[in-house]
């Protein structure tokens, strides 16, 4: 393994963050000999929150700042209007300006949990490319920048080639995305002297475009001091995409994914992924992680809890991590406090009349998304009330289930639980 001098390159190499990089030895030298070097990652505003699939990029920015350098968070308010074709089989749904602005607000909240925007020398900066992209004059832009892009070369980039090879439509609007992203790098170089763009492996072609555009447009710049670095596409040991579950994406905003559900996601990591995820998604030292490698069999669950605790604390804070841990103890070890579980309430009158177990299960779409799914879970012996398996899909919950207490626990499988309480 190559030995690097800069704290950033050394750390992210050891932890498995690097997929590709341009002239990494020279980048390492610059980061070692200087501090407060600006670098950026872009995030389009396609949803009201980022999800776990974006966490590797956020952690890159966090390590970059911890290494003494200046991270730039670029919100893609302008590029979201176009839509990134990378990794997509069809065009993204076009969003309105109002939706994009609302999404940007939700996304901003996540970054404040991971990186600092205070007044320190290497304070992070957050900018939105809507500031410059919506002000471009089309003809001037084509003459000044469009001439530097080769269509022949652009057709060879994966984001374009894969769509064309599958004979799927790639609109002219989407084709412009890589030009606009390349221009983002140019703008950030001019405004902040940014020399490094990072991103996922699917952004490699776009990053190279930005580097080359900078070199061609400004002939006075030091052409060797522009860099790109990508992280690998993270998949689970079973081959599924990171951050995707049977119930959809694992969001980073608590209103879309509760701290308890977030903790559970990490606690349910596949055995073969635990060490890899500890390196990528926590700040636990590599020395400690290597010790956890020795755990075997059921002991691996200890490492999973450490992963869940550390990842949850990073995003939601120590208090929410502790609540999640207490909830887990109450469920799996019958100790601790269950108050952090989702709760549904019924009045004494409703309980006297009896309530369908199917209605309870589809409440808030938490245990099941439909009565059909609820029935299938019951038929598969996956549904329990206070750890007693329910076999009857027509069961009604009544006073007898409460047994002189004001709450019961309804479970679907080992991972999903709610409390039913009498008001």
Does residue 240 form part of some domain?
no
CATH number at residue 134: 3.40.50.620
Q: 418: which strand partners?
A: 410
Question: What pLDDT shows up at residue 391?
Answer: 87
Tell me how far CA of residue 299 lies from CA of 208, 293, 331, 344, in angstroms: 44, 10, 19, 35
- Residue 10 tokens, joined: 């050394």
Q: Mean of the per-residue pLDDT values for the chain?
A: 84
Does residue 198 form part of some domain?
yes
Where do the H-state alpha helices sit in 333-390?
Answer: 348-353, 357-362, 371-379
Q: 70-79, 223-232, 331-340, 355-364 — which is least confidently predicted?
A: 331-340
pLDDT at residue 89 tops 60: no
Contact 129, 77 (CB under 8 A): yes
Number of domains in the chain: 3
pLDDT at residue 156 tops 70: no
Question: Angle at Cα 108 formed by Cα 132 and Cα 204, nearest 5°?
Answer: 60
Burial tier of 406 (Cβ tally within 10 Å: 0-12, 13-18, 19+): exposed
Domain that holds residue 387: 343-422
Q: 416: which strand partners?
A: 412
Same domain, 19 and 155: yes
82-85 own/partner pairs: CB under 8 Å, 24+ apart = 82/173, 82/174, 82/176, 82/177, 82/180, 83/173, 83/174, 83/177, 84/44, 84/159, 84/174, 84/177, 84/181, 85/159, 85/160, 85/163, 85/170, 85/174, 85/175, 85/177
Tell me how far CA of residue 95 lies from CA of 53, 73, 75, 99, 110, in angstroms: 21, 21, 15, 6, 21
Question: What pLDDT shows up at residue 92?
Answer: 61
Backbone angles phi, psi at 418, to 5 degrees: -135, 160
Does residue 251 form part of some domain?
no
Same domain, 91 and 139: yes
- Residue 365 tokens, joined: 């779409």
Q: What burial letters (b/e) apply to 132-166, b meaning 16+ CB within 10 Å?
A: bbeeeeeeeeeeebeebbeeeebeebbbbebbeee
Confidence of residue 282 (pLDDT cuts 50, 70, 90): very high
- Residue 418 tokens, joined: 């709610």
- Better-predicted residue by pLDDT, 384 or 405: 384
Same domain, 192 and 279: no
Does residue 400 form part of some domain?
yes
Q: What burial letters (b/e) apply to 345-373, b meaning 16+ CB within 10 Å?
A: ebeeeebeeebebbebbbbeebbbeeeeb
CB proximity list for 174: less than 8 A, separation 6 or greater: 82, 83, 84, 85, 91
Same domain, 78 and 100: yes
Contact 40, 74 (CB under 8 A): yes
Instruction: Please identify, among 231, 266, 282, the residue that sits at the C-terminal boundary of a domain.
Output: 231
Whole-angstrom Cα distance, residue 413 to residue 195?
Answer: 50
Tens-place pLDDT, residues 209-268: 889 888 888 755 555 589 999 999 888 887 777 776 655 688 999 888 889 889 989 988
Same domain, 39 and 76: yes
Does residue 28 form part of some domain?
yes
pLDDT at residue 39 tops 70: yes
What is the pLDDT averaged over residues 97-125?
89
Instruction: Please identify, among 231, 246, 268, the residue that sits at the C-terminal boundary of a domain.
Output: 231
- Better-predicted residue by pLDDT, 348 or 285: 285
Does residue 67 form part of some domain?
yes
Same domain, 70 and 173: yes
Whole-angstrom Cα distance, residue 241 to residue 244?
Answer: 6
Question: What pLDDT shows up at residue 281?
Answer: 97
Same domain, 184 and 302: no
Instruction: Please identify, among 212, 231, 250, the residue that sits at the C-terminal boundary of a domain.
Output: 231
Whole-angstrom Cα distance, residue 182 to residue 204?
Answer: 11
Confidence of residue 57 (pLDDT cuts 50, 70, 90): very high
Does residue 337 form part of some domain?
no
Question: What pLDDT shows up at residue 329?
Answer: 77
Same domain, 187 and 283: no
Does residue 101 form part of some domain?
yes
Same domain, 13 and 153: yes
Same domain, 131 and 52: yes
CATH number at residue 417: 3.10.290.10
Helix (H, G, I), strand (E, B) or coil at 42: strand
DSSP of 85-136, one letter per residue? -TT-SSPPPPPPHHHHHHHHHHHHHHHHHHS--SSSTT--EEEETHHHHTT-
Question: What pLDDT shows up at residue 205?
Answer: 84
Same domain, 269 and 392: no
Question: What pLDDT shows up at residue 72?
Answer: 96
In angstroms, how far is the first alpha carbon of the chain from the final one?
62
Same domain, 49 and 118: yes
Identify the CA nearest to 198 among candidates 312, 357, 343, 70. 70
């Amino acid at each position: 393994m190559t030995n690097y001098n800069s704290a950033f390159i050394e750390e992210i190499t050891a932890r498995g963050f690097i997929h590709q990089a341009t002239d990494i030895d020279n980048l390492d030298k610059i980061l070692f000999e200087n501090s407060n070097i600006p670098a950026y990652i872009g995030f389009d505003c396609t949803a009201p929150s980022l999800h776990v699939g974006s966490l590797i990029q956020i952690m890159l920015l966090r390590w970059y700042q911890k290494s003494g350098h200046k991270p730039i968070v670029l919100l893609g308010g302008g590029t979201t209007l176009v839509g990134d074709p990378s990794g997509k089989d069809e065009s993204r749904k076009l969003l309105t300006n109002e939706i994009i602005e609302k999404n940007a607000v939700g996304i901003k909240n996540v970054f404040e949990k991971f990186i600092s925007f205070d007044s320190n020398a290497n304070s992070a900066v957050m900018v939105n490319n809507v500031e410059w992209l919506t002000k471009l004059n089309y003809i001037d832009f084509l003459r000044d920048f469009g001439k530097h892009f080769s269509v022949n070369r652009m057709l060879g980039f994966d984001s374009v080639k894969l769509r064309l090879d599958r004979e799927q439509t790639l609109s002219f609007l989407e084709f412009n995305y890589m030009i606009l992203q390349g221009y983002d790098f140019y703008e950030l170089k001019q405004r902040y002297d940014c020399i490094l763009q990072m991103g996922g492996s699917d952004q490699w072609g776009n990053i190279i475009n930005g580097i080359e555009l900078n070199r061609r447009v400004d002939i006075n710049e030091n052409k060797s001091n522009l860099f790109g670095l990508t992280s690998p596409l993270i998949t689970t040991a079973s081959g599924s995409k990171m951050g995707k579950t049977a119930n959809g994406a694992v969001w980073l905003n608590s209103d879309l994914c509760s701290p308890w559900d977030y903790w559970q996601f990490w606690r349910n990591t596949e055995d073969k992924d635990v060490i890899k995820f500890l390196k990528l998604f926590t700040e636990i030292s590599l020395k400690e992680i290597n010790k956890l490698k020795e755990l075997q069999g059921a002991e691996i669950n200890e490492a999973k809890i450490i992963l869940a605790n550390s990842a949850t604390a990073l995003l939601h804070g120590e208090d929410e991590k502790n609540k999640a841990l207490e909830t887990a103890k109450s469920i799996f070890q019958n100790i601790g406090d269950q108050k952090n579980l989702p709760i549904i309430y019924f009045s004494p009158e409703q309980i006297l009349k009896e309530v369908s177990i199917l209605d309870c299960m589809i409440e808030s779409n938490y245990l099941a998304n439909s009565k059909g799914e609820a029935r299938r879970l019951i038929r598969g012996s996956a549904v329990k009330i206070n750890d007693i398996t329910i076999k009857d899909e027509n069961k009604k919950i009544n006073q007898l289930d409460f047994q002189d207490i004001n709450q019961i626990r309804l479970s679907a499988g080992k991972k999903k639980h709610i409390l039913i309480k009498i008001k």
